[in-house]
Amino acid sequence: MTQKRVRITSENNPLAGSAGVIRAIEDSSGDTPEDWEAIVEQLQKVCLEQTELAREAQDALADAQRTLVIQRQTIASQQAELEELRRNLARSAGLIASLEERLENMQETIAHLETRRAEHEYNQVRIQQLEALLLETERKTENHLLSIQTAERQLTQARERIVTLERQVLQLKAILDSQKLSRTQPAVWEAPVPAPSAPTQPAKKIDLPPFLAK
């Protein structure tokens, strides 16, 4: 009577870590107890490796979720800062309007003083001071605008990081689901041994996030 022996190797086997395959080899000789003990030891090693991989994936998922919470808190803080900058811009716009009105008045005064320049040197100095004040106000306004643009860029970058982290969380969940499915499959010695067939294509590789691929 022909008996079938199951031998576990480490080539392309999803149950033996990142590489390994279960081959069914038909042999006319029966398996000895030592053969079965070796098979059991190998299967136990496979289970331990899969348990460790699942634990590492769960830790990575927890880290990614914590990072996601921090990024959301950062976005909330940046949004509050952006609102404050917008309020400052509104106040600056009101100040600019007031200064423009004052500038118009000053220009009228300048036109009048130009006809009496020799007699009113003090007024000339005052005009120069007001012009310097206007330039300083315009400089501050430009700085406020630059601050708002910077905050908007930071907000956009933070949102992009949130999207990236959410994708990484989904990938990690998919890995965990795959590991759970592999653990719920029946033991090799309980399933019927299939006949030898042509090798199948390896499973599609899942791209891990950069901090897990190290």
Domains, in order of start, for the chain: 3-190 (1.10.287)
Q: Where are the beta strands (DSSP E) in 137-214?
A: none
The Cα–Cα gap between 175 and 99 comes to: 63
Query: Which residue type sits at 53?
Result: L
What is the model's pTM?
0.29
User: Per-residue confidence of the chain (214 residues) as pLDDT tens digits?
Assistant: 334 444 444 443 444 443 443 443 334 345 688 888 888 889 999 999 999 999 999 999 999 999 999 999 999 999 999 999 999 988 888 888 888 888 888 888 888 878 777 776 776 777 788 889 888 888 988 898 899 999 999 999 999 999 999 999 999 999 998 888 887 765 444 445 454 454 455 444 555 555 555 4
